[in-house]
Structure 1
Amino acid sequence: MGYHQAGFDVTGVDIAPQPHYPFEFHQADAISFVRDHGHEYDLIHGSWPCERYARVTRWRGNPDDHPDLLAPGREAMQATGRPWVIENVPETASAGLLRPDYLLCGTQLGLQVRRHRVFETSWSGGGDLVAPCWHHRGLHPFDHKGERAYADAMGCTWMTNREARKAVPPAYSHWIATQYLNFTDAEAAA
């Protein structure tokens, strides 16, 4: 949604059905789709599942039960020759799996959600500064996860609560899209 709000035509790809997705959607393996069609897009954004890396999901079992999609996803996006973004949990940067070009939290972007995410980009960061996180008392990373309020707090009003748990809040992708557009404008002016 954030890319749409920034002026992009958006196409989504997921291996699972996404019945509430508001834009063009292809049910497919995202890495295969990028290999076959990535060159057709102006910008590619990969949000690979985080269960393998996130501390918060470790209680669910062995991280090795979840595929490592970061390296193959990056390789597929790089092969397209198109600009790209990879998003995931901060643990991926701590482990050296993602370069933390941007680190965002909902509180930096006016959301009442503490949800940190790292973004690696093909243009290697830079851009606008954002305010530091502000985790006030009573604001927890998973407040309202069992309620409709969580999806709404993230700005994912068209999603179910379950869908929102795996989503990137639109405020994040809008901010990233703006950084990309500012970068391309600066490149064109140079």
Structure 2
Amino acid sequence: MSARVLPLRRPNGLRLLDLCCGAGGLSMGYHLAGFDVTGVDNRPQPNYPFPFVRADGLEYCARYGHTFDLVHGSWPCERYATVTRWRGNPEDHPDLVGPGRQVMQATGRPWVMENVPETAAAGILRPDYLLCGTQFGLPIRRHRVFETSWGGGGDLVPPCWHRPGLLAFEHKGERAYADAMGCTWMTNREARKAVPPAYTHWIATQFLTQNGSAAA
């Protein structure tokens, strides 16, 4: 299954596989860093702006992950997120971080995992990078943890600055929230699980800086 495809800028000639891509917030960050992006999700993503495959992320990664230069996995967060506890039983949602890490490691390629901060607090995800919209000049408060195969380090970003008036994620005013994230192509519903492209634009820059020679 495919969706509308943007012209690709590939100054580095590298390919990025985005597993559990959703509507493509993090995919866009890699694209802006120069990667040729392919997204995989088990649900239709009609607004995903790059080549898209509807498939199980674990199975697709096991079969094709080794053909990409960098593999990203945003495995479902509902099992770990605090908001899930308000709505139901977290045990009703799959625990895919461990299996996701294993299948990405098995590709032999560099990889990145992204999830909610609760995974770091529980020791599920190693917080190589903890990012917030305010660190990139965005008027939003949304923290995400990134674990990488290269273990973090590199350039530093400013600390969070949660000044009054920031947009926090709510189900009211999601259009404004999506636009503030830089995810203007998404619907309100898609924005609920979106992450600003600025995060992976920065992550990709760290990868290229620290692993550029190996990737090339």
Q: How does 1:178-189 map to 2 (within 5 A)?
A: 178-185=205-212
TM-score (norm 2): 0.83
Partner of residue 2 from structure 1, selected from 21, 29, 45: 29
Contact 2:139/2:167 (8 A) holds in 1: no
Q: Is the 8 A contact 1:106 1:112 kept in 2?
A: yes
Which position in structure 1 is the counterpart of 2:191?
164
1:147 maps to 2:180: no
Which amino acid is the alignment partner of residue 2 of structure 1?
A: G
Q: Specify the alignment match of 2:41 in structure 1.
A: 14
1:84 and 2:111 equivalent? Answer: yes
Choose from 114, 123, 129 the match for 1:96: 123
2:149 match: 122
Q: Which runs of 5+ in 2 are unaligned?
A: 1-27
Q: CA deviation at 1:57?
A: 2.4
SS of the residue aligned with 1:118?
strand
Q: Aligned partners of 2:174 and 2:117: how far apart in 1?
A: 25
SS in 1 for 2:130: strand
The list of structure 1 runs, each at least 4 consecutive aligned residues, that deviate by more than 2 angstroms after superposition, is 143-147, 185-188
How far apart, CA to CA, are the structure 1 residues paired with 2:133 and 2:183?
A: 12
Find out whether 1:25 has 2:44 as its counterpart.
no
Q: Percent identity?
A: 76
CA RMSD of superposed structures (Å): 1.4
State yes or no: 1:136 paired with 2:160. Answer: no
Kept in 1, the 8 Å contact 2:167–2:177? The answer is: no
- The alpha carbon displacement at 1:65 in A equals 0.4
SS in 1 for 2:177: helix
Deviation at 1:187, TM superposition (A): 6.1
